[in-house]
Structure 1
Amino acid sequence: MKKKVAFYTLGCKLNFSETSTIAREVQKEGFERVDFSQKADLYVINTCSVTENADKRFKSIVKQAQKVNPEAFIAAMGCYAQLQPAELAAVDGVDLVLGATEKFKLNQYINDLSKNDQGEVHSCEIEDADFYVGSYSIGDRTRAFLKVQDGCDYKCTYCTIPLARGISRSDTLANVLAKAGEIASKGIKEIVLTGVNIGDYGKGEFGNKKHENTFFELVQALDKVPGIERLRISSIEPNLLQEETIRFVANSNSFVPHFHIPLQSGSDEILKLMRRRYLTDLYRDRVAIIKKAMPHACIGVDVIVGFPGETEAHFLETYEFINSLDISYLHVFTYSERKNTLAAESLDVVPLPVRKKRSKMLRVLSAKKRRVFYESQLGTVQKVLFEAENKEGYIHGFTENYIKVRMPWNPELVNTIHNVKLTEIDEEGFGRFQVLELVEVG
């Protein structure tokens, strides 16, 4: 009988890409992968520590696994496992904790799945996380997350990622192109580029700060890989999103008009406290350049509310700044204190009820921005790539500029691209459309 393994991923697209790659390696060892809700011999949880909420979810996920199989071996890996290994090892039911580099050696630790009285920890000093391990995720036949970069050299005062993932380092251009080719050969139509700080792409391993290639060179090279219908850039720092990259995307073969650019605050004073590497003038300039080159482009924005020292005036400055920008949606994060960060040492704490109130205000603004963007696209013809999941009787898809559409479930549409004319927005905020032409059948 094959032993069964189940994976659960918390956090970002980068975590998903690494989980998928590690899972494929475990399957090569003879394990059968099953859904996390099913009975398995081994449960693996890839952790996140960007917010306090991700930390709290870990215990509930362990309990979920124990409920299905109390005798299962449970392993934790990833960012939270690197930052707080002893804390995870002490959680009832956890048998193994693997840090930033050890997670890629999971196979070496699962020959014996006997339960442990105490979680066994294998966690490196973060300075040793200076080599690169490539990965890509395949969750369905539609989209893949391709890791091109890891770690971060920035010192933002609220962030633990450099402590969890180490220095900035990248895959070689040849390796990235080879993996993109592999993904395309599997019939996957969209690749999302991911990493911790992908605009910093090109730095080598082992502390080599020289850029062997630039992010712009990566974009140019990927655009020539045959068989890829779509390439999408995930979150990229505004100071690293160069005008030449924007102009290239506007005229490329496969890069789509969608950018996700972290802002974090619309107050220059707060940006300086955060130690961000730009001010609002630069951010406004990047948005203007994108919209001039691609008026139909979708622009997503990350923002943090309740950062220490954020007064009501600072928040209103942020609100008005975002409101003035031609952007499409927000990802709103309520600030949470993280151990071993400068911001957590501040005594100028914003009360939690105030943080929640400000978060709600920005989420409402996000809904308005998204609605305005969707309405601006009504009457236009867009290419929609339909996804594989049946969600309550509907099939969903995304246009190139990230408008989410849906129609009644039809399995024949999975992994196909249609030209559609956006006709209306339904009561739940999805785009409705008229199908004009079947472009490709998967």
Structure 2
Amino acid sequence: MIDLPIDLLITNKNKDKTVDLILSFLSKENYPAIQKITDSLMYEASGRAFIKIQTGCNKFCSYCLIPYLRGRSQSVPVSQVVRQIKTAQKQSVKEVVLTGIDISQYQDGKAILTDLLKQVLTETSVERIRLGSVYPEVFTKDFLDLYSQNVVSNVKNGRLCRHFHISLQSACDQTLKRMNRHYTIKQFKKTVAQVKKAIPGVSITTDVIVGFPGETDQDFMESLQNIQEIGFSKIHVFPYSNRPGTLAGQKEKKWGEVFKKTKLARAKKLRDLSKQLEENFRKQFINQTLGVLIEAKNKQGEWVGWSDNYIKFQISNPNLKRNQIFKICLS
């Protein structure tokens, strides 16, 4: 290891404290700048709390530096996560979001993500529990059984939100292989079908990179068709950008660089499809009553909130209150 002359190291976890850390260091207060994963709880005035349960990654996707910058997967102990949720409850939080780089890799001893959720359901009473981004491998039979028995809306007193963000990145096998994603589009489709069958009304959102090195027009059209068939409720679209130090960055010329104009055109097509899919998903629930967590007011003075399955509501009703869950009919 190279011995670098570093006076102060600020971790990614503490980047929001950068100014305080520097001032503290300069005043010789010896602020502890190097820390393990400890309580990581971020509140929103909306009544939602984000709780980091994991960091790092073992996947080594060809376009990403996270495993090198943040190291291998590390998880927060189950007992600590439960304690943080109880703390959030005392602050009148109505929904917790369990987050991380890839929470599919969560593991505390023998406890995996399914075991963590069981403990949270048993030891806390927070009204809604939502997950951050997950990989397809998380959807085991035990995981889906747990959800089907404890999901919001479909089960009395259910608390698990009917929403999963499953990062696809591409729906073309050739592109997935260059990305070093560890599934095929056939496997991904099968997983989504199992999730939709086990959890009626579930919302599945995703991320897709367009213009990845080597992506031909034919690859993109194949990806577009497969994405439409999967039936996501929303797609977050990202034109590929080179990250120095990644395998994809090193191989871009060899695999085939995609012109910026082409990337933007593909991104527009995919965003147009996302709008269509989002509207199609929303239409399924017209005239149905859903629990909506009221979060804020928009510029028009309407209350804005989200259902457990990630449908956005904008409501003109003076009787609503922030940080409360109301039963509202979608019209």
Residue 111 in 1 paired to residue 16 in 2?
no
* SS of equivalent to 1:393: coil
Q: CA deviation at 1:320?
A: 0.5
Of residues 381, 386, 391, the one that matches 2:294 is 386
Q: 1:332-376 deviations in whole A, cap 9, x for unaligned? A: 111100011000012111111111110110000000000000011
Of residues 309, 313, 333, the one that matches 2:218 is 313
Aligned to 1:345: 250
How far, CA to CA, are the matches of 1:322 and 1:108 in structure 2? 45
How far, CA to CA, are the matches of 1:356 and 1:386 in structure 2? 35
Residue 241 in 1 paired to residue 146 in 2?
no
Q: CA deviation at 1:412?
A: 4.6
How far, CA to CA, are the matches of 2:260 and 2:298 in structure 1? 38
Distance 1:166 1:410, change over 3 A: farther
Aligned to 1:153: 58
Q: Give the partner amino acid of 2:47.
A: T
Aligned to 2:10: 98
Residue 143 in 1 paired to residue 55 in 2?
no
Q: CA deviation at 1:111?
A: 2.8
Q: 1:124-169 deviations in whole A, cap 9, x for unaligned? A: 9xxxx9x423301112151011100011111100012223322210
Aligned to 1:93: none
Aligned to 1:80: none
Aligned to 2:116: 218
Of residues 309, 319, 324, the one that matches 1:401 is 309
The higher-RCO structure (CA 8 Å, 6+ apart) is 2
Give the TM-score normalised by structure 2: 0.87
Q: 1:306-344 deviations in whole A, cap 9, x for unaligned? A: 110101111111000001113211011111000110000
* SS of equivalent to 2:134: coil
Q: Residue 142 of structure 1 contacts residue 388 of structure 1 at CA under 8 Å; is this kept in 2?
A: no
Q: Residue 294 of structure 2 contacts residue 320 of structure 2 at CA under 8 Å; is this kept in 1?
A: no
Aligned to 1:19: none
Q: 1:56-103 deviations in whole A, cap 9, x for unaligned? A: xxxxxxxxxxxxxxxxxxxxxxxxxxxxxxxxxxxxxxxx98344764
Q: 1:240-271 deviations in whole A, cap 9, x for unaligned? A: 33232123112213111111101111111111
How far, CA to CA, are the matches of 1:160 and 1:384 in structure 2? 37
Counterparts of residues 161-240 of structure 1 (less than 5 Å) = 161-202=66-107, 211-240=109-138
Q: Number of aligned residue pairs: give it.
A: 309
Q: Residue 162 of structure 2 contacts residue 202 of structure 2 at CA under 8 Å; is this kept in 1?
A: yes
Distance 1:105 1:133, change over 3 A: farther
Q: CA deviation at 1:223?
A: 1.6
Q: Residue 57 of structure 2 contacts residue 71 of structure 2 at CA under 8 Å; is this kept in 1?
A: yes
Aligned to 2:326: 418
Structure 2: gaps (5+ residues): 1-7, 28-32, 151-157
Which is richer in strand? 1
Report sequence identity in percent.
33
How far, CA to CA, are the matches of 2:181 and 2:141 in structure 1? 20
Distance 1:372 1:390, change over 3 A: closer
Of residues 251, 258, 264, the one that matches 1:356 is 264
Runs of 4+ in 1 over 4 A off after TM superposition: 101-108
Q: Residue 287 of structure 1 contacts residue 326 of structure 1 at CA under 8 Å; is this kept in 2?
A: no
Q: Give the partner amino acid of 1:146.
A: I
Aligned to 2:179: 274
Q: 1:256-299 deviations in whole A, cap 9, x for unaligned? A: 11111011111111111111111112211111111111221111
* Cα RMSD (Å): 2.4
Q: CA deviation at 1:113?
A: 7.1
How far, CA to CA, are the matches of 1:275 and 1:403 in structure 2? 32
* SS of equivalent to 1:419: strand
Residue 291 in 1 paired to residue 196 in 2?
yes
Of residues 356, 375, 379, the one that matches 2:283 is 375
Q: Residue 141 of structure 1 contacts residue 187 of structure 1 at CA under 8 Å; is this kept in 2?
A: no
How far, CA to CA, are the matches of 2:220 and 2:46 in structure 1? 42
Structure 1: gaps (5+ residues): 1-95, 115-122, 204-210, 424-442
